[in-house]
Amino acid sequence: MGLLTGCFGYNKSAKRWAYVGDTILVLGGGASIALDVTDKPAACMDTTTMPCPYRSSISGMMVTGVLLAGAGLFGMIFNATRPNIRTSR
């Protein structure tokens, strides 16, 4: 569940790694959506003996992909608008 919040950085170095994490979330979400769209079962054609079962066009893999991509985009936008915090060493 922690990955669904996106990655946030507080200084320049942390923001770079946060962008890497957010990019991985977006790519993983896109891959999940693409896999769901391309891996559909064959259409039911035999309605004389048995009615075809209902299959929703929205599956769990599609929802997962949208959540991952959305979290990555949110993290990117949040990092872009968040000011850098100066830390003293």
pLDDT at position 2, please? Answer: 47
Alpha-carbon Rg for the chain, nearest whole angstrom, is 20
pLDDT of residue 47: 66
pLDDT at 89: 62
Q: In this predicted structure, what is the pLDDT of residue 18?
A: 85
CA distance 36 to 50: 26
At residue 40, the pLDDT reads: 79
CB-facing half-sphere around the CA of 40: CA atoms within 13 A: 12
Model pTM score: 0.75
Where in the chain are the domains?
Answer: 29-38+57-81
Low-confidence ranges of the chain (pLDDT < 70): 1-8, 47, 87-89
Distance, in Å, from the CA atom of 17 to the CA atom of 46, rounded to the nearest integer, reads 53
